[in-house]
Structure 1
Amino acid sequence: MKLPIAIHTDEDYDRAQQRVAELNRLPESSDKEKELHALAEAMLAFELRRDDAED
């Protein structure tokens, strides 16, 4: 079973962005779409937490 993607630091966020770029260069597949979706959710959650902390 694969673990969910979690982003806790700016460095994690940067690595997630790099992974998205890598995935976008690969051919289409269901695994690629699942990973892109999980990365997008994790990145959004991180951005929302960061925005809340700034308020």
Structure 2
Amino acid sequence: MKEPIVIHTDEDYERAQRRVAELNAAADSPAKERELAALAEAMLAFELRLDDAEE
């Protein structure tokens, strides 16, 4: 099993956004959908941590 995607920095977040754009341009496949879901989850977790830090 592959390791989970974790975003720690703004640079990681930007890299994830670029990867999402790459995947959206690629042909549909189960692997693509799994990676998109993992990226979305990691990006959301990062955004929530930022929100918590601001409060």
Q: Give the structure 2 partner of residue 39 of structure 1.
A: 39
Gaps of 5+ in 1: none
Give the TM-score, by structure 1 length. 0.98
Q: Give the structure 2 partner of residue 23 of structure 1.
A: 23
Q: What CA RMSD, in Å, does the superposition of the two structures yield over aligned residues? A: 0.4
Report how far residue 5 of structure 1 moved: 0.1
Matched, 1:14 2:7: no
Q: Give the structure 2 partner of residue 3 of structure 1.
A: 3
CA distance in 2, matches of 1:24, 1:44: 18
Give the TM-score, by structure 2 length. 0.98
CA distance in 2, matches of 1:26, 1:44: 22
CA distance in 1, matches of 2:51, 2:31: 30
